[in-house]
Amino acid sequence: MRQPMQLITPADEYPIHQTPDTFATVSHADIAWTEKIWLSLFALDGSLQIDVGLGKYHNRNVIDGFAGISRGVEQITVRASTELDVDPERIGVGPIDYEIIEPMRTVRAVLRENDVQPISFDVTFTAILPPYLERKDAQRGADGFRIASDLRRFHQAGTVSGWVVIDGERIEITDDTWMGYRDRSWGVRMDVGAPAPDVKAPNRMEQDFILTWSPMFFRPADGSAPYEIHHYLQWVDGEVHYFSGFVNYADGRQEPLHGAVDDLKYDPATRRLLGGTMNFDAGWGKERVVEIAPVSDVGFHLGTANYFGFKGDRHGSWHGVDHLDGERYADMTDRATILEAHQLRDCVIRTQEGDATGYGIFESIVIGEHPRYGLSRADSFL
């Protein structure tokens, strides 16, 4: 029999409570409350990328996840969803699992063989830098009333080992040839579930909108400690709505950045990043200038993970118990395909600041008319 009030979970055994409720209850009643796990892992030569993520939606009684690969312009995705109270302590759903081997240091992601797509993997992420908090994403709706986002996130760089199987072919993954990023976020999140039909919401397609999020890893040529530059920007109709930026050091220190001006290029057909430079305001007249360029054609499109809607579905939506689906796209540059899967992608990039070089992930959405990028509203899409 299901408990009509609160559920006691195994986590309640530990002396780590911060409220008088059990761990089955979160601080907001908002159905957009989400715990998210995300990893984007890639071969340094750009030949292959693995993306995997999980979402726990306490106030929806849903846990869902995705796992897939990007190989050239091809993408294969598996999605799973079930009711959270079926097994609330499991960090996984369907054939997808996530294991915390050593907190803040080593995690493991698994996609078991499944009946949806011919891919599976077992990969271990080992940190090469500490985890870094981003500035709290606290935003209100356009009317200034409802809290649209109240979210905390940290991310981390690491190397990757394990294996992946595609169409029966096993590919070995080693720490010296792969790296990647992971993040953890929790709080009230935008775009969870279907939009409420009786609430006014801005139409992004009527706006000039830019979103960029990028952790960028660097190794100095002199052999000194590696570091990272990270930013997250949301820009709407000429105004910055949110900015978080830091230079993150190997000893855990974080120096804030105060803004960014980019000189980037995007493919007008796909709005995929082609490369360019980013100038970060480091305060008191200082700046950090970073050059970036895609490593290859890989770049996992997060639309197939149900971000911003996909074939009538969205992340956090209820599908009952043991729902499983997925698809395989041969060419993510095909116009019909990209309109369905959207432009948000985990683009794998090379990075350079002075004589320091490395790799990163660059996520971007560029909607509307942007003459400086050579992008017209006529070709705009989400």
Instruction: Judge whether residue 194 has pLDDT over 90.
Output: no
> What sign has the CA pseudo-torsion 310, 315, 320, 325?
positive
Give Cβ neighbours of residue 173 (< 8 Å, ≥ 6 apart): 43, 123, 160, 161, 162, 163, 164
Greater confidence (35 vs 145) lies with: 35
**Domain annotation covers residue 2:** no
Over range 30-58, report the average pLDDT. 96
Domain extent for 249: 10-379
Q: Give a yes or no: residue 78 inside a domain.
A: yes
Q: Is residue 334 situated within a structural domain?
A: yes
- Interval 237-262: pLDDT, tens: 989 989 999 999 999 999 999 999 99
Determine the Cα–Cα distance for residues 346 and 349; give it in Å rounded to an integer.
9
Tell me: pLDDT of 186 over 50: yes
Q: What pLDDT, on the 0 to 100 scale, is given for residue 4?
A: 59
- In this structure, what CATH number is given to the domain that contains residue 232? 2.40.370.10
DSSP code for 69: E
Q: What is the pLDDT of residue 1?
A: 46
Is residue 5 situated within a structural domain? no
What percent of the chain clears pLDDT 70, i.e. is strictly above it?
98
Burial zone of 121 (CB within 10 Å; 0-12 exposed, 13-18 middle, 19+ buried): buried
194-210 per-residue burial string, b: 16 or more CB within 10 A, e: under 16: eeeeeeeeeebeeebbb
**Tokens 């995690």 appear where?**
107
- pLDDT interval class at 269 (50, 70, 90): very high
Average confidence score pLDDT of the chain: 93
Contact between 230 and 360 under an 8 Å Cβ cutoff? The reply is: no
Poorest-pLDDT segment among 2-6, 22-26, 36-40, 259-263: 2-6
Question: What pLDDT band is residue 3 in, cutting at 50, 70 and 90?
Answer: low
Q: Which of 333, 154, 285, 118 is nearest to 232 (CA)?
A: 154
Q: Compute the Cα dihedral for 77, 35, 181, 10 and give only its sign.
A: negative
Residue 210 included in any domain: yes
70 and 85 Cβ atoms separated by less than 8 Å: no
**DSSP character string of 129-190:** S--EEPPPEEEE-TTS-SEEEEEEEEEEEEEEEEEEEETTEEEEE-TTTEEEEEEEEEEE-T
For residue 252, tell me if it sits in a domain. yes
Which ranges constitute the DSSP H helices of 69-108? none
Count structural domains, the chain.
1
Answer for the pair 207, 377: CB distance below 8 angstroms, yes or no: no
User: Which DSSP string corresponds to 251-276?
Assistant: TS-EEE--EEEEEEEE-TTT--EEEE
Q: Summarize the confidence of residues 77-101 as an average pLDDT.
A: 96
DSSP-derived secondary structure letter, 219: B
Is residue 206 one of the residues assigned to a domain?
Answer: yes
pLDDT score of 361 more than 60: yes
Contacts of 342 (CB under 8 A, 6+ apart): 301, 302, 303, 307, 308, 310, 365, 381, 382
Q: Is residue 139 in some structural domain? A: yes
